[in-house]
Amino acid sequence: MLQQGWCIGLTGGIGSGKSTAGRFFAECGGTVIEADAISHQLTAAGGAAIAAIRKQLGDSFVLPDGSLDRQRTREHIFQTPHAKQTLEHILHPLIRHAMLENASAAQEQGQRLIVMDIPLLAESPQWKPLLDCICVVDCDESTQIKRVMQRNGLTSDQVQQIMHNQASRSERLACADMVLRNDTQDLMNLRQQVTSVCQQLGL
């Protein structure tokens, strides 16, 4: 939470348009801190999470250049639930620490709107006390599937498997203080909703 201003948690299922909404918040002057971007930094060559991943999961999950083998890891965690938990136990505290450090730095620079882009926010109750409100980007599940199939070249079954490993739509909506509807291809509509949120917050 910020002493002066707002710290918003932004989340949404795969294909919901969460990243696009984050870009619109940035256009409104907010500082957007992305959990996924930090995760990639932590698992790049020389990243802070690599040693623990090598120790917990094994050398075969680290590429010769010293970065995480993302494809092998993705396939493994879909097949082995405890591997997913192991990876999360390594990454989540590091991601949280880095995001809070970045937020603190932005606040010191006078930023009045910080947006924490957290895909697994609904699954991570420890975040809620640190946020002023939670904003969920929402759309029909059929729209999510269609978008991800077109964007990533996946099959419907593959997309549904990814969605199965995320919080359900109802679980995300249950934790929402505000909802941005994004069922259409009209990005102007989503932009207007984000602008409206910023106006409501007095920004």
Alpha-carbon distance of 5 to 18, in angstroms, equals 22
Instruction: Judge whether residue 2 has pLDDT over 80.
Output: no
Q: What pLDDT score does 77 carry?
A: 83
Dump the DSSP string for 7-59: EEEEE--TTSSHHHHHHHHHHTTPEEEEHHHHHHHHTSTT-TTHHHHHHHH-G
Among 25-29, 94-98, 181-185, the least confident range: 181-185
pLDDT band at 201 (very low <50, low <70, confident <90, very high): confident
Instruction: Judge whether residue 198 has pLDDT over 70.
Output: yes
Instruction: Judge whether residue 37 has pLDDT over 70.
Output: yes
Q: Which residue has the higher pLDDT, 127 or 203?
A: 127
Cβ-based neighbour number of residue 43 at 10 Å: 23
**Domain regions of the chain by residue span:** 1-30+114-195, 38-110
Q: 106-134: per-residue pLDDT in tens?
A: 999 999 999 999 999 999 989 999 999 99
Q: What pLDDT score does 36 carry?
A: 95
Instruction: Judge whether residue 89 has pLDDT over 90.
Output: yes
- Rounded to the nearest 10°, the torsion over CA 153, 158, 159, 165 is -140
Q: What pLDDT score does 82 carry?
A: 87
Alpha-carbon distance of 99 to 92, in angstroms, equals 10
Amino acid at 162: I
> What share of the chain has pLDDT > 90, as a percent?
80
Average pLDDT of the chain is 92
- pTM exceeds cut of 0.85: yes
Instruction: Judge whether residue 3 has pLDDT over 70.
Output: no
Average confidence (pLDDT) over 92-103:
95
Distance between the two ends of the chain, CA-based, in angstroms?
Answer: 16
> What share of the chain has pLDDT > 70, as a percent?
98
* DSSP state at residue 125: G
> Is domain 1-30+114-195 given the CATH code 3.40.50.2300 in the classification?
no
